[in-house]
Structure formats: C-alpha cells, structure tokens
Amino acid sequence: MSDLVRNFIRLIVFLLVQVFVLNKIPFLHQFVVPYLYYLFILWLPFSLPRPALLIIGFFTGLLLDYFMWQPGLHAAACVLIAYIRPFIIGLLIPKDTNEFNYREPSPRAMGWAPYTVYALVMTLVHHSYLTLLEWLQFGTFLQFLVKVLATTAISMLLVFTAELLFPRKVKYRTNTA
C-alpha cells in the first residue's frame, strides 16, 4: 500500500471514529471532550514537505469542522500543530539521517519516551488552542485551564490505546523502493 492510499484511508477512519463514536459517547462532564482525530497529523510521514503538511492539516480540521458545524475551529488548531510538528520532531530524533530512516513517527521508530513527549506536546498545543478559541467566546479562565488539562488527559489515554491496539509495522526507507 502506498503512503498516499494508506494515509487517505487513515484520514477517513479517524474522522468517522471522531464524528460517529467519540462525539456521540454519552455525556461525561463538560470538561471532558474526547479527541483523537488529530493523531492523523501526528502519524503523517516524515518525508512530507512543510507547506504540504500545513495544507493537509488545514483540510483535516476543515473536514471535521463541517461535520461539527464549527467551521474554522479545528482547522485553526490543526494548522498550528502541523506547523510546530517539524520543530518538535527535530528536537526529539537524532540529527544524523543515515541512522534514522523510519517512515513515520511511531513509538518504535522514536522510542516510547520521545514519542510520549511528542504526542503530549502536540496534544497540549492542539487542545490549548482549541479551547482558547472557544474560551474567547464563552467561559472563565479557570474553566479554560481545567478543560485543557482534562481533555489532554483523556486524549493521551486514547492515543496510547490506539498505539497499543494498532502497532504499526516499522518499515525502513530503502534505496531499492
């Protein structure tokens, strides 16, 4: 399966799960909103050029927005995490590309600790920005903080569940392919 097809299927599955499962689970608490769809952006290949990453992020968010009827909200957050993604990856993986030739970020490729940091930072940024945009229209500062923390916690739980349930096979980029 080529990268394009694989990621296209992934996008559809993530959106369907987000829209029809996670958004519909019975109400837990006003601060707990389970988000998982942005894991799609975390899983995009390393090789993507940065403008392409931004545009993919924008359309991922926009697709969810049209389902959720909040046009622009998730798109803005996705563009932001797509923008900071290369910086965080640059900090966390070895600079020497000869040694490092995995295709996409995963616990096996990066190691559990760096991957956790990567997922945590991206999650935190995504939720902070998302909640900030909502908070501009509504709510108090304490609500904002608690919501960011609670939503990040539940999202991290979902991310790890997804990683453990669907361990992606580590494939090496080779010259033969």
Partner 1 sequence: MLNIFAFLRRYFTFIVFVVLQFVSLWMLFSYNRFHRAAFLGVASEVTGRVNTQVDKLDDYFHQGEEARRVHRMNDSLLNLLKSNFEFQDTTQRLVVDTLHFDSTAAIRRYTWRDAKVVYNTINSEQNYLQLNRGSRYGIRDEMAVLNSDGAVVGVVVNVSPNFSQVMSLLHVQSSVSAAHQKSGTLGKVEWDGKDPKYVWLKGVSRSVDVKVGDSVVTSRYSYNFPPNHLIGTVSQINSDPSTGFYLLKVKTAANFSTIQQVFVVENLLREEQLRLSKETDKKMEQQKNKQR
Residues that bind partner 1 (CB under 8 A): 20, 23-28, 30, 32-33, 50-51, 54-55, 57-58, 61-62, 65-73, 75-76, 79-80, 83, 133-134, 137-139
First-to-final CA distance of the chain: 12
Tokens for 61, please give them. Answer: 């968010």
Q: Which candidate, 45, 52, 48, 39, places its Cα nearest to that of 11? A: 39
- Closest separation between CB of residue 83 and partner 1, Å? 5
- Closest separation between CB of residue 54 and partner 1, Å? 5
39 or 77: whose CB is closer to partner 1? Answer: 77
19 or 106: whose CB is closer to partner 1? Answer: 19
Contact (Cβ atoms closer than 8 angstroms) between residue 36 and residue 158: yes
7 or 147: whose CB is closer to partner 1? Answer: 147
24 or 95: whose CB is closer to partner 1? Answer: 24
Q: Which candidate, 145, 158, 163, places its Cα nearest to that of 35? A: 158
- Closest separation between CB of residue 34 and partner 1, Å? 9
The rounded distance, in Å, linking the Cα atoms of 45 and 47 is 5
The rounded distance, in Å, linking the Cα atoms of 37 and 27 is 19
65 or 163: whose CB is closer to partner 1? Answer: 65
Q: Which candidate, 148, 147, 93, places its Cα nearest to that of 117? A: 93
- Closest separation between CB of residue 23 and partner 1, Å? 5
- Closest separation between CB of residue 51 and partner 1, Å? 5
The rounded distance, in Å, linking the Cα atoms of 7 and 107 is 18
